Amino acid sequence: MIAVTTAALLAGCGGGGKAKLTTLPTTSTATSASPTPPASAAIAQIRQNWSQFFDGSTSASDRIRLLENGDKFKKVVDSLGGSSLAKQVKARVKRVKLTGPTTASVTYTILLGGNPVLANLRGRAVLVDGVWKVGEASVCGLAKLEGVAPAACSAK
C-alpha cells in the first residue's frame, strides 16, 4: 500500500511529457459577482484536469498549473522526478459533484498499470481563474496516507 501511495503521489507531483490544460469560458449572471462556467462543462473539465494531473506522463509544469496553489508544491514536484512506477499511475474519476460555485467533490480511483489500487478516494476540486484544479488538500491527503506530508501541506 505504501509503494502505491508513493507512486500516486509521484504521479501527482512529478513526471514528464506534455499535457493539454483545459480552461473553460466563463459566463456572467446578473446575480453572481464572479463568473461561473456551466455545470456540465465544469464537470467535464474537472474530470479531464483531474485525470491529467495524476497521469504519470504529465509534465511537472502542467501538474503545478493543475494544482491549487501549485507553486507552493514546486519543490516537491521538481524533486520527485519520474520513477518508472509513477509513470504507470493514472486516476479514474468516478463521480464529480459541484458543492458550490468554486468547489466540487471528486470520487476517484488510483490505477497502477491499469489496475485499481486505491479505490473510491475522495478529493476536492477548486475553480481558480476559470480553471478547475485539483485541490491541494487532495494531494496532502494522499501524502498523509504515506505518513509524510510535504512542507507545503503543513503551511496551510
97 torsion bin: left (phi>0), alpha (psi -120 to 50), beta (else) = beta
* pTM, to two decimals: 0.77
Q: What is the average pLDDT score of the chain? A: 79
The dotted CATH code for 2-19+37-149 is 3.10.450
Of 3, 47, 14, 44, the C-alpha closest to 139 is 14
Nearest-angstrom CA–CA distance, 8 and 91: 9
What integer pLDDT is reported at residue 74 of this predicted model?
87
pLDDT single digits (tens) 41-78: 999 999 999 999 999 888 889 999 999 999 998 887 77
Domain residue spans of the chain: 2-19+37-149
Query: What gap in Å lies between CA 109 and CA 107, rounded to an integer?
Result: 7
pLDDT value of residue 125: 98
